Amino acid sequence: MDYALDIGAVTRNLDKLWEGLFVTLQLTIAANVIGVIAGFLLALIVLSPYKVLSWLATLFVEFFRCAPAIVQIVWFFYCVPMLFNVWLDPITMGVMALGLNLTAFNAEAYRASIQAVPKEHLDAGIALGLSPVQRVRHIVQPQALRASVPVLLTNGIGTFQQSALVAIVGVADLMYQGKLVATETYRPIETFTVVALVYLAISLPVAQIVGWIERRHGTA
Nearest approach, Cβ of residue 167 and other proteins (Å)? 7
d(CA 53, CA 111) in angstroms, rounded, equals: 15
Nearer to other proteins, 144 or 195 (CB): 195
Does residue 162 bind other proteins (CB under 8 A)? yes
Q: Which of 140, 113, 141 is nearest to 217 (CA)?
A: 113
d(CA 150, CA 65) in angstroms, rounded, equals: 18
Does residue 103 bind other proteins (CB under 8 A)? no
Q: At what angle are helices 188-217 and 14-46 packed, to 10 degrees?
A: 40
Among 37, 41, 56, 79, binds other proteins (CB under 8 A): 79
Nearer to other proteins, 129 or 218 (CB): 218
Does residue 193 bind other proteins (CB under 8 A)? yes
User: What Rg value do the Cα atoms of the chain yield, rounded?
Assistant: 21
Q: Which long-range contacts (CB under 8 A, 24 or more apart) does 44-50 make?
A: 46/107, 46/111, 47/111, 47/114, 47/115
d(CA 88, CA 165) in angstroms, rounded, equals: 18
Query: Phi, psi (5° rounding) for residue 106?
Result: -70, -35
Nearer to other proteins, 44 or 169 (CB): 169
Residues 82-101, interacting with other proteins (CB under 8 A): 82-83
Does residue 207 bind other proteins (CB under 8 A)? yes
Residues 48-77, interacting with other proteins (CB under 8 A): 62-63, 65-72, 74-75
Q: Per-residue b/e over 12-23, b at no fewer than 16 CB within 10 Å?
A: ebeebbeebbeb
User: x/- binding map, residues 167-186, to other proteins, per CB under 8 A?
Assistant: xx------x--xx--x----
Nearer to other proteins, 1 or 127 (CB): 1
User: x/- binding map, residues 123-142, to other proteins, per CB under 8 A?
Assistant: --------------------
Q: Tell me which residues touch other proteins (CB under 8 A).
A: 1-3, 62-63, 65-72, 74-75, 78-79, 82-83, 161-165, 167-168, 175, 178-179, 182, 188-189, 192-193, 195-196, 199-200, 203-204, 207, 220
